[in-house]
Amino acid sequence: LGTPEALALRGKAAIAFVKVAYQHYKQLFNGTRFKALKAAGAHPQRLLWASTGTKNPAYRDTMYVEELIGADTVNTVPDATLDAFRDHGVAQSKLDTGIEEAVLVLGQLRKLGFDFNRVGEQLQQEGLKLFDEAFEKLLKLTE
């Protein structure tokens, strides 16, 4: 996927995917089925954005934190990213903006052969490994 078309989408895929997923989330928890559950006392699950530090130095150091701000979400932010956000971040809900562009980005990725399921599985496995390592480190501190 090193074509000019693919490279033009670098840094946009994750945010586009999250924005579209957030719209699905809102539809689910604002739909008639959940309204009945809510009337019976149910609460919606919040979306968790995990470890949203910016790894690519070419991107703004607060890019993911800023782009993933939205109602009913939780964000686990690395310390360095939180410090950067406190220093120069912009606190503004953005998950409901740029939805049409996000859908276009995902469509372009599909056309390029991007396998969302494979990448999602890989990211999930990597994330679980990192959380497991952090938990093991925490347990060692209590020994």
pLDDT at 16 over 60: yes
Return the pLDDT at 85.
96
Q: Nearest-5° angle of CA 106, CA 17, CA 65?
A: 135
pLDDT tens figures, 30-62 = 999 999 999 999 999 999 998 788 989 999 999
pLDDT at 127 over 90: no
pLDDT tens figures, 17-31 = 999 999 999 999 999
Side-chain half-sphere exposure of 25, counting CA atoms within 13 A: 17
pLDDT tens figures, 76-94 = 899 999 999 999 999 999 9
Could you tell me where the DSSP H helices lie in the chain?
A: 4-7, 13-30, 32-39, 63-67, 79-88, 99-111, 116-141
pLDDT at 140 over 70: yes
CB 24, CB 34: distance < 8 Å: no
Task: Note the pTM of the prediction, 2 decimals.
Answer: 0.84
